Every structure is written in C-alpha cells, then in structure tokens.
Structure 1
Amino acid sequence: MKIGIVGSSGYIGGYLLSHYRGKDYVGRLVSIDMDDCAEHHLNLEHPEMFDYSELDGLDYIIFTAAISGPDACAEKFDACWSINVTGTEYFISEAIQRQCRVLFFSSDAVFGDIPGMIYTESSETKAQTPYGRMKKAVEDVFRHSPYFKAIRLSYVASAEDRFVTYCKKCIQKGEVAEVFHPFYRNCIVVSDVVNVVEWMGLHWDEYQPTVLNVAGNELVSRIRIADELNRIYNGRLQYKVVQPEEKFYINRPKITQMKSNYLERYAILKNESFTVKIQREMENIEI
C-alpha cells in the first residue's frame, strides 16, 4: 500500500508516521506538511502551489492537517476558513481526481450542542461553533464521493495531549493543577485513532458509511482524567476543580456525547474502559 499523511508533523500525524514506518505492507510512505521535516511542503493557504503529481499512485491519503483550536477558529475566522475549508477542499479535490482514497479527520464539533443528545453517525450535523462549521463544510462537499470518508474524533487523550502534558508539568513542578469542570467528552486515546486509521485503509470498501464516529463508551470529564493520572502516578497530582467563565464554553460545549453505531459492529476497536485505555497510553511514561 502507498500512503500519504497530510499534517505528518502534527500531534496525531506523528504517531501515524511512526506506526506506518514499521509496517511491511507499506510500499511507500509520503509525509506532507508545512514543516521542513516533511518530504513535501504544503501550505493550505496556497494549495495551488503544491506539486500534485506527488500524489500519483498513492492508494490512501490521511488528511489530519487543520487549525484545530476552537478559540483561534473563532478569533481568526477568515484565515482559519481559508486553511480548514478552502485549502483543504482544494487539496482533497486534487487527490480524488487522482483516485486517491482520502480519510479526513473531522470532529464531534460538527453536531452542535443539543442538551441530552447522544450523537451517532446518523445524527444531523448542526455545527454551531466556527471550528465545527469548518469540519462540517468539508464533510458536506465530499460526502457522496466513493473516494472520501471522514472520522469524527472525540477528545484524543495520550501522554502528549495538552491536558495530560499540563498535568505532568504540574507534577514535576509540584504545582496545583486547575481542572476545568464541567467539561465532558467520550474520550478516546491516540492508539485508538491509529488503529481506526489503519483499519479504514485496509477495509475501505467493506465499510459502507461515509463517516465513522471515533468515541469511547464512557463520558469522561477532565476530573476523571486527573484521577486516572493519580491512579497511575500514586496520587502525585494535586489539583483543584475550577468552573471556567461562560466565555470558555462559547466555542466548545460543556458536554458532547457521541457514540458509534459501527465501531463494535465492524470489530474495529476493542470494547475497553477508559481506565484500561489511558493506562496503556501512559505505560513506561515516567515523571
């Protein structure tokens, strides 16, 4: 299989690059990003400048690139739309013209904020936040193409995600962490994402829907994550619960509950507790 990763220098892109480098069935692995570490430079503000002949012969393109900060997408809406929608659509269109299968990284933000709602793949997307509207716009453009599928990620926890990194630093410095509450998501871990991406590449035609919700079975708060870290690190994380100002929730709902109708049906991921998942992610991570 010949694979391209767009956003290869990013948080999840780096994990994917490392994963695929160890696979015998991968005949070619192409890294694409703005960063000098990538083989091919792509600036989504000027996607027309990319040499699209580099995509010729690729079987599977994993599109992870985006400005994903909800506040940045609101404060610099036009600039972020140019990258997250206009530039992204340009690149994906060029890839599809070359018959490359494109897996687009979307988000649970596409659903909006309906109190008490549990969103599935069949739920209507009513994105309200700028970031959610951007992801929805791309989904809507390509949803009927057989060369396009999207995975909608919940919060992706790992040893290197922003909140866990913040908690680790607080442990190292002996500082008290501020844990925002309420803030709930059906958290997954980065190894889940890698496994889903690999499964989709190997079973593209078998998976009939256009979208897949990648979500854990439990609705997890940041307090739960902090407590799981204390379970792993013997109570070394001191924290206090802080209720953020209402403006914090303007660009991110307090609760987004998402589940998948297909993760278990297609045996894509094991049915494991968040405790098991986060312990696996933090294994051999010393503080």
Structure 2
Amino acid sequence: MKILITGSNGLLGQKLVKLITEQSNHELIATARGKNRLPNESGYVFESLDISNEQQVMDVVGKYKPDVIINTAAMTNVDQCETERDDCWELNVTAVEHLIKASEKHNAFLLQLSTDFIFDGNDGPYTEEAKANPVSYYGESKLAAEKLILESKIDWAIARTVLVYGIAHDMSRSNIILWVKKSLEDGKDIQVVDDQWRTPTLAEDLAKGCLLITEKKAKGIYNISGDDFLTPYEMAVKTAEFFNLPQNTMTKSDSTKFQQTAKRPPKTGFILEKAKKDLGYKPHTFEQGIKVLADQMG
C-alpha cells in the first residue's frame, strides 16, 4: 500500500514514519511544510508540502497517487487558534478541502485526525456518536473539517484523539510528564488542575491506531486515545510516583485560577469499545506510557 502522511515533522507524524518504516512493508511518502526534520531519512520519500496551498496538494498527490492519505497537519495550539482565526481556518478547514479534492481525483482513502475539543465537556467520556458542541475556535475548526469529510464522496475515516503526549526528535514542545518531572526535580512549586478530565494518549498508541485504520481501510469515526480517565493532577501524581519524586511542592488547583485565551471543555475523554472491537486497538496504560517516555529519555 502507498501511504502519504502530512505533517510528518510533528509529534504524530514522526511516530507514524517510524512505525510504518520499521514495522510494515508499505511505501511511504512523508510530507511537511519546509524541510524534513526527521533524524532518519531512509525507508521513505520526503516531499515538502504546504497543505493550505491547493496547487501544491494537487501536484504532490497527483505525482505519487497514494492509496491512503493520513492528515496529521493542523494548527493545534488552542489559544493561538482563538486569536489567529484566519490562519487556524486555513490550515484546519480549507486545507482539508484541498485534500478531499485531491483524494476524490486520485481515488485515495483519507484519514483525518480530529479531537475531543469538538465537545463541550459537560458529559464525557464520549462515544463516537455523541453530539458535538465545541467551546473554542479550535474545536469549531476541527468540527468543520469533520463535516466536510462526512459530506464528501470519498472513502474516509476520522480518528479522534485526546491530549497526546510523547517525545519527538528536534521538538521543544513539552508535555505534562516532562513538565512535572523537571519541576519537581528543580524543587519548584507547581499548581496542577484537578477539575478537568481527559483520557491522555501516548503518541505511539495514536500512530498504531492510525495504521490499524489505514490497513483495514476502516471507514467511519474512531476514538483513538488512552483508556485511563484522569485529571491533570492525577497524571502529575502518577508521574511523581514513577520517578520517585517528592510531591510536597505540588498542589491541586482549579481551572478558574488560570488565565487562558480559549475556553477548555471540563470533562472529555473517550470510550474506546468501537476501536477495540473493529481494529483490535489496545492502548498503553498511563503508567506504561510514562515508562515509554522514561526509556526514550534514557
């Protein structure tokens, strides 16, 4: 199978390239805006691609004619999406229109990545059939992209995920595990939110879920996340316990004490029964996820 990935320099993109080149026989085209930032350049072809440029999308998809396109490229900084709305819409919605058009022309299966932020967070965790009601512009943009795909004539799947964490090459982006570990090692006082709930997702698990959907060409919407329903404070406690760090500088807080541009849904998280049954998807526990990161840090 010939697979084209967008956003290959990002966290999920990097994990997908690693997984596909090491554990499958698929032909892989990795694309991203700008230069290739991946440490390993073998086992795939790299093509620079800005998916918000329709001509570039048509040219690259036309050149390689992939069987499957996995769209991991997006503007995911929730506060930035709130203030830079035109850029957010261009990358999260208009770019998806271009990918749909190219998929239709070249008969490609399109797998779109989506998010728990399409929900208001009043009654999570959610199934695939739950009614969407975003409370942020980021959520609105991702829901708009979903609607475009649902209304299209192509073969498609949507993988929704939650709070993805992991370690990527050449990326400064932190995550809750790294932040808690470093803060406690440095003896810093930290406040951690205890009134929001998520099912945090190890990036390797999300990549595996995407590959399962791809290989089965499983049509429809799939929840691909972790299985543990936790608050950030509970995640922080588990991190401290794993690394044997003192917890006396860590205190519970609530989200009203933090000034954030965009509103966050309080209780999301996903029910994974469909992905487990249809795909054989089996995520790591959060503790196992911490160990994966610890091993990668050496």
TM-score tier after normalising by the smaller chain length = 0.7 to 0.9
Aligned to 1:121: 128
Could you tell me how far 1:95 is from its partner in structure 2?
Answer: 2.5
Aligned to 1:3: 3
Alignment of 1:248 with 2:269, yes or no, is no
- Closer/same/farther in 2, CA of residues 30 and 269 from structure 1, 3 Å limit: same
Cα distance in 2 for residues equivalent to 1:31 and 1:230:
36
Aligned to 1:60: 68
Cα distance in 2 for residues equivalent to 1:23 and 1:167:
32
Q: 1:213 aligns with which of 215, 219, 223?
A: 223
- Closer/same/farther in 2, CA of residues 224 and 102 from structure 1, 3 Å limit: same
Could you tell me how far 1:248 is from its partner in structure 2?
Answer: 3.2
Once the two structures are overlaid, the 10-residue window that deviates more, 75-84 or 138-147, is 138-147
Cα distance in 2 for residues equivalent to 1:55 and 1:177:
51
Cα distance in 1 for residues equivalent to 2:56 and 2:281:
38
- Closer/same/farther in 2, CA of residues 10 and 246 from structure 1, 3 Å limit: same
Q: Which runs of 5+ in 2 are unaligned?
A: 38-45, 169-173
Could you tell me how far 1:146 is from its partner in structure 2?
Answer: 4.5
SS in structure 1 opposite 2:277? coil
Aligned to 2:118: 110
Could you tell me how far 1:193 is from its partner in structure 2?
Answer: 0.6
Aligned to 2:141: 134
Q: CA RMSD in A?
A: 2.5
Cα distance in 1 for residues equivalent to 2:254 and 2:86:
30
Aligned to 1:25: 25
Cα distance in 2 for residues equivalent to 1:168 and 1:159:
14
Deviation above 6 Å: which 4+ runs of structure 1? none
- Closer/same/farther in 2, CA of residues 279 and 53 from structure 1, 3 Å limit: closer
Could you tell me how far 1:258 is from its partner in structure 2?
Answer: 2.4
Could you tell me how far 1:194 is from its partner in structure 2?
Answer: 1.5
Aligned to 1:260: 272
The one-character-per-residue Cα deviations of 1:198-254 (angstroms, maximum 9, x if unpaired) are 1111111xx34x110123333111112111212221125642333343653842112
Q: Report the TM-score, using the length of structure 2 for normalisation.
A: 0.84
Aligned to 2:93: 85
Is the CA contact 2:19–2:208 (under 8 Å) kept in the aligned structure 1? Answer: no
Aligned to 1:239: 250
Cα distance in 2 for residues equivalent to 1:93 and 1:282:
42
Counterpart code for 1:240: T
Alignment of 1:170 with 2:180, yes or no, is no
Q: Which runs of 5+ in 1 are unaligned?
A: none
Aligned to 2:15: 15
The one-character-per-residue Cα deviations of 1:142-198 (angstroms, maximum 9, x if unpaired) are 115452111000112334652223223324544333323322102221121121011
Cα distance in 1 for residues equivalent to 2:238 and 2:77:
25
Counterpart code for 2:32: D
Could you tell me how far 1:7 is from its partner in structure 2?
Answer: 0.2
- Closer/same/farther in 2, CA of residues 86 and 94 from structure 1, 3 Å limit: same
Once the two structures are overlaid, the 10-residue window that deviates more, 183-192 or 236-245, is 236-245
Is the CA contact 1:143–1:149 (under 8 Å) kept in the aligned structure 2? Answer: no
Cα distance in 1 for residues equivalent to 2:61 and 2:161:
30
Could you tell me how far 1:261 is from its partner in structure 2?
Answer: 3.6
SS in structure 2 opposite 1:103? strand
Q: Structure 1 vs Structure 2: percent identity of aligned residues?
A: 21
Aligned to 1:269: 281
SS in structure 2 opposite 1:257? coil
Once the two structures are overlaid, the 10-residue window that deviates more, 11-20 or 168-177, is 168-177
Q: 1:202 aligns with which of 215, 232, 236?
A: 215
Counterpart code for 2:104: I
